[in-house]
Amino acid sequence: MNYSKVFSVLGMMLVALSALLVLPIIVAIIYRESCLWIFASVAGVSLAVGALLATLFRTKNQVIYAKEGFAITALSWLVLSAAGALPFYLSGEIPSYVDALFETVSGFTTTGASVVTEISAMSRACLFWRSFTHWVGGMGVLVFVMAIIPNLSDRSIHLMRAEMPGPIVGKLVPKAKDTAKILYLIYIAMTVVQIILLLLGGMPFFDSVVHTFGTAGTGGFGIKPDSIGGYSPYIQWVITIFMLLFGINFNLYYLLLIRRFKSVIKSGELWCYAGVVLVSIAAITANIYKMCSGFGEALRLSSFQVASIITTTGYATTDFNLWPGISKAILFILMFVGGCAGSTAGGLKVSRIVILGKMISKEVRHMLRPRSVNTVKFEGKQVDDTTLNNVGTYFALYMVCYMVIFLAITAMDSFDFETNFTAVSACFNNVGPGFGAVGPASNFAGYSSASKLILAFAMLLGRLEIFPLIITLSPGTWMKK
């Protein structure tokens, strides 16, 4: 284990956090809010501690192997969440540090589950920081650092693989650092376009920015009690479209830029993602049609909620907790499906589900014809045994973690089965709202502090896809040999 590099990068992360806090400081200055000094103090301490760590652990050994990549990823998210919660807690806007930590983890992991009961009472600076954590966490805090730090070796691809969601992560260009820059440039461009379109629809500038942050990071923190429900149909359609766009693998956008259109069209994951979305929208539209004023409203509401849930954004335009059982069942399944690999969405990922399906098909064919040679192909290429083993192992570990977390919070809190089961689904899959007492019209404030910590850990497990945290907590990771 390269200890010096691990703690050096952690120092850089705290320095980066201090830079990110400059934006809510500017918001506090514009709106003349007293929390300005809280944000400034946290930024100053983060800068000092980060610079100290980066200096004390400076090393000539810049190599980052897989072990260091997992450890740096897990520890960075833990440190940033713990430090990022301080403005909420010290300002008194979220009086409990556990609640502030839950809200911050929910922000950085782009979950969108909240414990804030009176959102309209929060300052603009805290609302901005709350949504900005979505934007930073969407593409990945380490991908951001990789794009701006000059002295990371090209083995920092291990950081990207540890942090980017999905079973297969590679470089778009020869250098991982350049790949990070390309991803963030695409991310920023799409963010700017959405802000402009929301402004054209009459949404105030502040609202446009924070809701775009929530859409881009597929997080879903709103600034009004009814989430997006109070905005115009035009604004709801814009957010619907961009939620779906941010749920697509960003590698495909790069392929579009370099005019490799055939590669995009041949993407099996993209077609599967589009098919699931369209079928779900059609089914829910038909199911809720009689509850709406017409076909147009039914289509808009169903399209928005399907986009919000499959991309694990969590915005809402209506209380879907009141929808018929079949519509709720479809949304529940979409919580697990998630978006595409390499997107900002959570969930199991479409690619992983497709590969799992093909693995099952392969085993069935092998049972019928034991002597036949069967392979699994994805995106026109044969999937190697290592990737197949990783997908199978991940799914098994996912189910074990899910059951343990569900049993833990059920033992601690007396909510009904639907509430607890969907609360774990919403946090572990980074969706946000669930059903029952944690539906879109409610929040997670009723859970005990212990359950909130467990659910916050579930968010981190889901966002980092289990392995970085499990490996970091393993004693063998920290042995020198």
Q: How confident is the model over 180-231, as pLDDT tens digits?
A: 778 888 999 999 999 999 999 999 999 999 999 999 999 999 999 899 999 9
Consecutive H or E run containing 382: strand 381-382
381-382 vs 377-378, strand pairing mode: antiparallel
DSSP for residue 377: E
Closest CA to 262 of 379, 378, 381: 379
Taking residue 161's Cβ as centre, other Cβ atoms within 10 Å add up to 20
Match 């359609």 to its residue by tokens.
237
Q: Which amino acid is at 406?
A: F
pLDDT score of 3: 75
User: What is the pLDDT averaged over residues 394-402?
Assistant: 93
What's the N-to-C CA distance of the chain in angstroms? Answer: 7
In the chain, the percentage of residues whose pLDDT exceeds 90 is 61
Euclidean distance between CA atoms 99 and 115, whole angstroms: 7
pLDDT category at 174 given cuts 50, 70, 90 is: very low
Domains of the chain, residue spans: 386-478
User: What's the farthest any 2 CA atoms get from each other in the chain?
Assistant: 74
Query: Which sign does the torsion angle of CA 56, 10, 187, 382 carry?
Result: positive
Match 């049609």 to its residue by tokens.
289
pLDDT score of 278: 97
Euclidean distance between CA atoms 264 and 49, whole angstroms: 45
Q: Which amino acid is at 453?
A: L
Euclidean distance between CA atoms 68 and 37, whole angstroms: 36
Taking residue 455's Cβ as centre, other Cβ atoms within 10 Å add up to 26
Give the helix ranges, DSSP H, for 313-446.
Answer: 325-337, 350-368, 385-412, 417-428
Q: Which residue has the higher pLDDT, 129 or 164?
A: 129
For the chain, what is the radius of gyration of the CA atoms? Answer: 22
Give the helix ranges, DSSP H, for 289-349.
Answer: 295-310, 325-337
Euclidean distance between CA atoms 137 and 217, whole angstroms: 7
Euclidean distance between CA atoms 326 and 288, whole angstroms: 10
Q: Which residue has the higher pLDDT, 470 or 281?
A: 281
Q: Which residue has the higher pLDDT, 40 or 76?
A: 40
pLDDT score of 169: 47
pLDDT score of 64: 66
pLDDT category at 330 given cuts 50, 70, 90 is: very high
**Cα torsion at 179, 185, 191, 192 (round to 10°)?**
-170
Q: Which residue has the higher pLDDT, 479 or 256?
A: 256
